[in-house]
Amino acid sequence: MALVEPCLVIDASARDRLRVGVVQGGRWVSQVESPEGALEATSGCVGDVLKSAGLQLADVQSFALNIGPGSMLGIRVAALTVRAWSALKPRPIYVWESLVALATVALDRGVKAPFVVVAESRLKRWNVLEVNAQKQFSAVAECETEQVKQKALPVLTLADEALKIFSGVIKLADPWADLPKYFAEGRLLKLEPKPEPLNATEDFALWSGERHRGNS
């Protein structure tokens, strides 16, 4: 799915960082990063990045949002913000998932499947996406550390903490710089007019191997 440009891109999935950028011509024409969360920094970062790109909000033709996994509050703030802007002037809203992006970039860089991609979650658990030998992606699930180890697969991650816990860890480079290329190629993105944070806990893997969904 090709991106409608210029596109305002927001990544509020990290708990200690907000990233905002403008993609045009298949590249970043402006980008900013804040150590504050989405609630505090979205408005200022968007203003700064648009000013740097020589654009007004009305000039933006689409939005792209990272839906996680990650900070539920940050992603929800960003989602509500772009939904409000799109309501004022209808424009496409695209979403992507961070672990899918990491896995896709890893495969393109020659990492051999199967493997798992992990990111830190709550309560010392991990958000996990598994890529099988056929390069098919699982849904993201929240797992205990021992459950990840039991998969006996190489672990790919951005998290330094994973280096201390798992063997066979491959530390990945941050894919942010590569996103415009993937977006221009129509990869990673899907249209979602009402984006919501990805909630990996809905697919939490129990010790029995069954998946927990609500009280069922």
Lowest pLDDT segment from 127-136, 183-192, 195-204: 195-204
| Cα-to-chain-centroid distance, residue 183 | 13
pLDDT digits (tens, 9 = 90+) for 19-63: 999 999 999 999 999 999 899 999 999 999 999 999 999 999 999
> Which pTM value belongs to this model?
0.90
What are phi and psi for residue 116, nearest 5 degrees?
-120, 145
The pLDDT of residue 200 is above 80: no
Closest to 192 measured CA to CA, from 77, 92, 82: 92
- Please give the angle made by the CA atoms of 126, 118 and 209, to the nearest 5 degrees: 55
The pLDDT of residue 211 is above 70: no
The pLDDT of residue 204 is above 70: no
Closest to 3 measured CA to CA, from 32, 35, 31, 25: 25
pLDDT-derived band at 202 (thresholds 50, 70, 90) equals low
Residues of the chain with CATH 3.30.420.40: 7-97+174-198
CATH code linked to domain 7-97+174-198? 3.30.420.40
The pLDDT of residue 115 is above 80: yes
Instruction: Say which residues have a Cβ less than 8 Å from residue 72's Cβ, sequence separation at least 6.
Output: 197, 199
Instruction: Say which residues have a Cβ less than 8 Å from residue 3's Cβ, sequence separation at least 6.
Output: 23, 62, 64, 94, 183, 184, 186, 189
Q: How far apart are CA 108 and CA 111, in angstroms?
A: 7
Give the CA dihedral 152, 158, 160, 163, nearest 10 degrees: 20
Mean pLDDT of 86-94: 97
CB-based contact 211:141 (threshold 8 Å): yes
The pLDDT of residue 215 is above 80: no
CB-based contact 172:179 (threshold 8 Å): no
Q: How far apart are CA 19 and CA 210, in angstroms?
A: 36
What is the rounded average pLDDT for all residues in the chain? 91
Residue 16 pLDDT: 87
Q: How far apart are CA 76 and CA 13, in angstroms?
A: 9
